Amino acid sequence: MYKQSIAVISLLAALTGCASKPENPVDYVTYRDEPLVKQVEDGMTRQQVLSIGGPPSSEVRRNLQPGTCNNYVLNQDGHQQVYYITFDSAGRVDSKGFMSCEQHEINQRALEKL
């Protein structure tokens, strides 16, 4: 009984974590040493991010919250992966992850409906 309870609690914890930020863990393992992934942290300024990662592939205005979002394309051994970094209205990083800005916005809308 004890082992089953721990298994259920662990599964629920894992699913809860995935629901808040759905990403493929393989992407993190593959690209974890890329400067944007390794060095960019919440609260950094836009200029700090640009000095680490250079100009983004595209920059889009956020619809759900004030601010902008930068799309980057990471390259590793011939494989490409999109990576987004969002900035709040003050120009500070408030989220990042392995999807496009557009997909992040879709996910945020879906979470608001829950």
DSSP string of the chain?
A: -HHHHHHHHHHHHHHHHHHHS---HHHHHHHTTSHHHHH--TT-BHHHHHHHH-S-SEEEE-SSSSSEEEEEEEEETTEEEEEEEEE-TTSBEEEEESS-HHHHHHHHHHHHH-
10-residue mean pLDDT series, the chain (114 residues): 53 46 76 95 98 97 94 93 97 97 94 87
Residue 74, pLDDT score: 96
User: What HEC string does 58-78 produce?
Assistant: EEEECCCCCCEEEEEEEEECC
Q: Tell which CATH architecture fits domain 23-113.
A: 2-Layer Sandwich (3.30)
According to DSSP, the residues that pair with 87 across neighbouring strands are 68, 93
Cβ atoms within 10 A of the Cβ of 51, count? 12
Q: Is the pTM value of this prediction over 0.85?
A: no
Domain ranges of the chain: 23-113
Q: State phi, psi for 76 to the nearest 5 degrees.
A: -150, 115
